[in-house]
Structure 1
Amino acid sequence: MTVQNLPYLANCSMLFTELPLLERPEAAMAAGFDTVEFWWPWPDQPVPGDADVDAFVGAVQAAGVHLAGLNFFAGDLAGADCGVLSIPSRSQQFRDNLEVTLGIGERLGTKAFNALYGNRVEDATPQQQDELGTENLALAATAAGRLGATVLVEPVSGPKPYPLRTADDVIAIVERVQAAGAPNVGFLCDLFHLANNGDDVDAAIATHAAAVAHVQIADAPGRGEPGSGNLPLERWLADLHTAGYAGYVGLEYKPTTTTLDSLGWLPRERRAAASAAH
């Protein structure tokens, strides 16, 4: 299942987790990828020390891969958190993190930054959270604009009280931020999360393809590699490509065995993003 002309990249926060984080860029390159993305590498630190940042940047540079995407600080995604930018008590963590994340991006030529919205909380109304979310996303987009970069907003599935579940939910926020004067905000179309939430993915692609700024995939059920579940990922990617999407497809899945074994669906010659026509 490989759609020609779409470049794939390895999400090294989900793939190659058999290895320490700083060894994963080199492992991705050894497996045939020339482009990667990461979640925020320090889930408990909005502002890590300079030595930690330098070590991360150095690992990416030494591996010879391109860091195409990086999350802003979003808390502990493996735990209770799902972003912080719309949470009043944690908003400052997001703001403190902006320049650090964008500084990494500037050093590595990164052009896409994923901003996890944040869960609903009891000490603020949805309207208050959405107003704060709009303000912080616009702030992030303005800062990212200095790098010619885009801020991404995505749906998330699962039991956490995350409010952006469907493509329509995300597009409403994207349009609200754009109306606030930040045009460089786009839809991260995570096909797994949309499907897992029961959204009509065909309708989402047909309606919102023009707003898609990045794509991520995993199969369902299980969030494993393509072919481990029953999602029509190849058809959806083909539809996105036909509709004009020519950006990266991030492999953000949990390997059912080892990472290398899980890549059998993707021929090695298709793993390098440079092998696809942009």
Structure 2
Amino acid sequence: MQFNDYDVSANVSLLFTEVHYLDRFQAAADAGFRTVESWWPFTEPHPGNDRVDEVAARIADAGVQLIGLNFYAGDMPGGERGVTCRPERADELDRSTEALLRLARATGVQKFNLLYGQPDTGEEQAQRAHAVGAYRRAAEAVAEIDGTILVEPLARGLNGSYPLHDDHDVAALIDEVGSPRLAQLFDSFHLGMNGVDVAEVARQRAGATGHVQLADSPGRGEPGSGDLDFTAIAAALREGGYRGTVAAEYKPTRATTDTLDWLTPSAGR
């Protein structure tokens, strides 16, 4: 698995769960990571400025760079996968955007994953229109920090009625939104679970890809724990011209530090 051409970032929402969330930035640094990313760090849309600033301080203390951050996505442990398409929850997204921008100004993070959400049966068209407007507003909000909004497909059958399942679904939504600040998020696990030729998508969509996340499929464990060919995926990303960060965003099958042997010392560690 040849990812030594890339900086490899640690997703601290899935890695280093052996320790408290706020301690994971230091754990990542101790394991050799220079960059980190995170899902929404809080259970609520806006936890208050003090808690936002605490996260920023712990990142700074660890000496790592935050390079990716999710918007608030609702009750993720309870099965929600975003609120973007839900008109009745627009205020939650607005409040989370305020907190997100505060954290971004403090850390310099510029890439933000905004999950679409789960539309109701019979309301898909109206909720799609709302989602398109919400993505446009998010893009406008991050323009002040030269930010990019990432759009992610998720595994079919594991995420309720979430409607984006592959690169074509994501590309269609991005075209509809019409903002140059939107880009595809390439996630090997979700694409693999949906029967996509992951390496071929990497090759074809590299130019439209704003960020890459790696986990094996099935199982969502570390690369090498499932069936995906990560040597082919790495080669395809290089051939397609992707030069951004690659994130380790998997559920370790054992202690996190025992699952890092797929990385070479030069791969961002």
The residue aligned with 1:154 is 152
Moved more, 162-171 or 206-215: 206-215
Opposite residue 63 of structure 1, the aligned amino acid is A
What are the equivalent positions in structure 2 for 1:189-268 lying under 5 Å apart? 189-268=186-265
CA-CA distance at 1:41 after TM superposition: 0.6
The separation in 2 between residues aligned to 1:271 and 1:205, in whole angstroms, is 20
The separation in 2 between residues aligned to 1:40 and 1:152, in whole angstroms, is 14
Query: Secondary structure of the equivalent of 1:270?
Result: coil
Among all aligned residue pairs of Structure 1 and Structure 2, give the percentage whose two residues are the same amino acid: 41
Query: In structure 2, which of residues 107, 127, 131 is the aligned counterpart of residue 129 of structure 1?
Result: 127
Opposite residue 17 of structure 2, the aligned amino acid is T
The answer to whether the Cα contact below 8 Å between 1:171 and 1:187 also exists between their aligned partners in 2 is: yes
The separation in 2 between residues aligned to 1:134 and 1:169, in whole angstroms, is 13
The separation in 1 between residues aligned to 2:257 and 2:2, in whole angstroms, is 17
Q: Give per-residue Cα distances to partners, 1:37-58, cap 9 Å, x unaligned.
A: 0000113x10111221111111
Opposite residue 78 of structure 1, the aligned amino acid is P
The separation in 2 between residues aligned to 1:246 and 1:230, in whole angstroms, is 25
What are the equivalent positions in structure 2 for 1:81-160 lying under 5 Å apart? 81-122=80-121, 125-157=123-155, 158-160=158-160
How many residues get paired? 267
CA-CA distance at 1:159 after TM superposition: 4.2
Moved more, 256-265 or 73-82: 73-82
The answer to whether the Cα contact below 8 Å between 2:71 and 2:100 also exists between their aligned partners in 1 is: yes
The answer to whether the Cα contact below 8 Å between 1:87 and 1:121 also exists between their aligned partners in 2 is: no
Query: Secondary structure of the equivalent of 1:146?
Result: helix
The separation in 2 between residues aligned to 1:173 and 1:41, in whole angstroms, is 26
The separation in 1 between residues aligned to 2:64 and 2:235, in whole angstroms, is 26
The answer to whether the Cα contact below 8 Å between 2:67 and 2:110 also exists between their aligned partners in 1 is: yes
The answer to whether the Cα contact below 8 Å between 2:199 and 2:232 also exists between their aligned partners in 1 is: no
The separation in 2 between residues aligned to 1:152 and 1:7, in whole angstroms, is 18
Query: Secondary structure of the equivalent of 1:264?
Result: coil
The separation in 2 between residues aligned to 1:209 and 1:77, in whole angstroms, is 28
The answer to whether the Cα contact below 8 Å between 2:203 and 2:239 also exists between their aligned partners in 1 is: no
The separation in 1 between residues aligned to 2:204 and 2:38, in whole angstroms, is 28
The answer to whether the Cα contact below 8 Å between 1:32 and 1:269 also exists between their aligned partners in 2 is: no
Q: Give per-residue Cα distances to partners, 1:2-40, cap 9 Å, x unaligned.
A: 323111100000000111010000000000001000000
Q: Does 1:8 align with 2:8?
A: yes
CA-CA distance at 1:230 after TM superposition: 1.3
Opposite residue 243 of structure 1, the aligned amino acid is G
Query: Secondary structure of the equivalent of 1:192?
Result: helix
The residue aligned with 1:276 is none
Moved more, 199-208 or 149-158: 199-208
Moved more, 218-227 or 88-97: 88-97
The residue aligned with 1:27 is 27
Opposite residue 222 of structure 1, the aligned amino acid is G
Runs of 4+ in 1 over 4 A off after TM superposition: none
Q: Structure 2 unaligned runs (5+)?
A: none
Query: Secondary structure of the equivalent of 1:57?
Result: helix
The answer to whether the Cα contact below 8 Å between 2:15 and 2:249 also exists between their aligned partners in 1 is: yes
Q: Does 1:58 align with 2:43?
A: no
Q: Structure 1 unaligned runs (5+)?
A: 273-278
The separation in 2 between residues aligned to 1:202 and 1:34, in whole angstroms, is 26
The residue aligned with 1:275 is none
The answer to whether the Cα contact below 8 Å between 2:200 and 2:236 also exists between their aligned partners in 1 is: no
Query: Secondary structure of the equivalent of 2:261?
Result: helix
Give TM-score, length-normalised by structure 1.
0.92
The answer to whether the Cα contact below 8 Å between 2:142 and 2:148 also exists between their aligned partners in 1 is: yes
Aligned-residue RMSD, C-alpha: 1.3
The separation in 1 between residues aligned to 2:237 and 2:262, in whole angstroms, is 20
The separation in 2 between residues aligned to 1:23 and 1:206, in whole angstroms, is 36
